[in-house]
Structure 1
């Protein structure tokens, strides 16, 4: 059963949170807490692998020993490196190392690393086991869990991908102490949107508890809808405009920041469509502001460009589509009139200057 449980004790006497992603034979644990990266050898021993390829965006001191013969590859973290060419290079390295279907691939990095390495693992030999060690708050809260792997095309984000569930996810909160302030706040974009998809108000919790609650909600959704047939669309709350903003700013606006602005927009759009009242619209702004995230559209990005980019979203099969709050909670709303979307965008405040958002 999907849920949050207290796990084994860490070296300092504290306990870890463990969430089980309930997918039957493909189910796996997500372990959250300080020092959980050191359990990697135990995880790999359970898999039974004799070799491991470790793709890491972190220095050696922060990349745990897998406990078996290993090839270490430096990751290319960042959206610009989420390409099929990088996936091909990884697979060539797997083959040269003699990796078999009984071995394992380990990703250690942010969400772009888990996405690309996960896709390489899904494609090589038609699928080899993968273990994720997400090192950013954004990746721990969202990208590493759920089995979505993907790379980008010039035409859009995550347009080439596969579902490939990991064997385990180790969310070591020690990694978060090394993040720059902007990158740490960036991760709260996914936590903020969880407020509106059934995770409850997480603002009063500690970071590990916020991660655990966010992952637990995602695990519940994924266990019911692994392949985006319906309910899993909820996880895209704030993402349709968010992805458009990333593209429109050439990724100067980071993913969590873009999702945060997209969440504010989703509240305004739901209000414009009569789905929620003014207080709930304002709650979107209040929650995003609480986490220190941007709430304004970036300067220099036109409404027309954002509407055009939103049309490229994978959910947009029947016109513009957004996950929006409503009387029965969040749901996917298709066929949203372009003129309504444009009017809401035009009414949103914009930053006076381009560049990194103000805090």
Structure 2
């Protein structure tokens, strides 16, 4: 079954997120109404080998001229150097403002290709074809595009909404087990933010999705996209409610940065999982949330083989982590902003959080207490 989730609101042009199986073969047909000129399919070398030929064949069958542009796999491609190279290749291909960029890959490719599309000739259309679970439920929807700098993750970017998102559940079968679990962290996050019933399903029958069950994955992707699209429609540029989608990310991004964005040590989804566990434990510590809620979150993350303790992933200094958190995009005037929780399904934005309290909390976490 194919599900179409509309995304609309704010000042951006409405678009659809199509979720189902066997959609790669339909890519050209679905893109034909948008592709007034040519397309360039931006992907990484790994995804290009797996799915590049199928994407180009589908485009060709629908009469859409496409060509492949590959980048190295991994977070390192979200850089000024790779962005410059991609845009230079787009210029060499003699693309114009009627042409379309296709982002075929995970979050790195989607962020990089989306930013290149936003900058090229002051903005051309692009289509997201996410090939990882994490990208299907999170980064492909909402229009955030960005690259990293040595000072932090996603600090240079813009909002550029896609014209279409095509999420083929079948391509998830090619994911390594660790990458699938990494995406599951973002699925759980959506339940933690605003849907306790969804979280309960994910923790029970739906947990089969973390092990690759296609039916559970499809339901999880559809519900995650529904949650995210509703929030994005209310608050495209994160002036208020959209910040809730960053549950786990302030802690998580700081941890990733301290580890040098090395996905062999910690994937982004693993960092989000750990960040969610920390956010709930900190919420318990300040009296915002009951201890049993934090215990349920830890149990669900443990069941998905995701980290819940800093001691599981490396050695850290609390002061260094808090310094990173103070540089987060949500921080204001150097003061900490955290997404915390009153209970599962009820997250909230907490501004001007006491940095000393967070430091003391992290020191105890680092000590394993």
TM-score computed with the length of structure 1 as normaliser: 0.90
Whole-Å Cα distance in 2 between the matches of residues 281 and 339 of structure 1? 22
Whole-Å Cα distance in 2 between the matches of residues 102 and 279 of structure 1? 54
Whole-Å Cα distance in 2 between the matches of residues 173 and 84 of structure 1? 32
In the alignment, structure 1 residue 260 sits paired with structure 2 residue 273: yes
- Structure 2 residue ranges without an equivalent (≥5): 207-215
In the alignment, structure 1 residue 59 sits paired with structure 2 residue 45: no
What CA RMSD, in Å, does the superposition of the two structures yield over aligned residues?
A: 1.7
Match of 1:113, SS state, is helix
Matches within 5 A, 1:188-199: 188-199=184-195
8 Å CA contact 1:118, 1:149 repeated in 2: yes
8 Å CA contact 2:102, 2:129 repeated in 1: yes
Aligned position for 1:320:
336
Aligned position for 1:154:
150
Matches within 5 A, 1:301-320: 301-318=316-333, 319-320=335-336
- Gap change, CA 1:305 and 1:349, over 3 Å in 2: closer
Structure holding more helix per residue: 2
Aligned position for 1:347:
364
8 Å CA contact 1:76, 1:113 repeated in 2: no
Q: How many Å apart are 1:115 and its aligned residue?
A: 0.3
Aligned position for 1:121:
117
Whole-Å Cα distance in 1 between the matches of residues 50 and 346 of structure 2? 45
8 Å CA contact 1:77, 1:109 repeated in 2: no
| Partner of residue 91 from structure 1, selected from 79, 84, 87 | 87
In the alignment, structure 1 residue 247 sits paired with structure 2 residue 257: yes
Q: How many Å apart are 1:329 and its aligned residue?
A: 2.4
- Structure 1 residue ranges without an equivalent (≥5): 1-14, 352-359
Matches within 5 A, 1:210-225: 210-225=220-235
Whole-Å Cα distance in 1 between the matches of residues 49 and 220 of structure 2? 28
TM-score computed with the length of structure 2 as normaliser: 0.87
Q: How many Å apart are 1:342 and its aligned residue?
A: 1.8
Aligned position for 2:3:
17
Q: Identify the range of structure 1 (146-155 vs 243-252) with the bigger mean alpha-carbon deviation.
A: 243-252
Superposition misfits of 4+ residues, deviation over 4 angstroms: none
Partner deviation per Cα, 1:54-101 (whole Å, 9 max, x = no partner): 112223551212232222111323211101221111111111112111
Aligned position for 2:210:
none
Q: How many Å apart are 1:25 and its aligned residue?
A: 5.9
Whole-Å Cα distance in 1 between the matches of residues 227 and 154 of structure 2? 22
Q: How many Å apart are 1:344 and its aligned residue?
A: 2.0
Aligned position for 1:355:
none
- Gap change, CA 1:119 and 1:337, over 3 Å in 2: same
8 Å CA contact 1:320, 1:336 repeated in 2: yes
Number of residue-to-residue matches in the alignment: 337
Match of 1:325, SS state, is strand
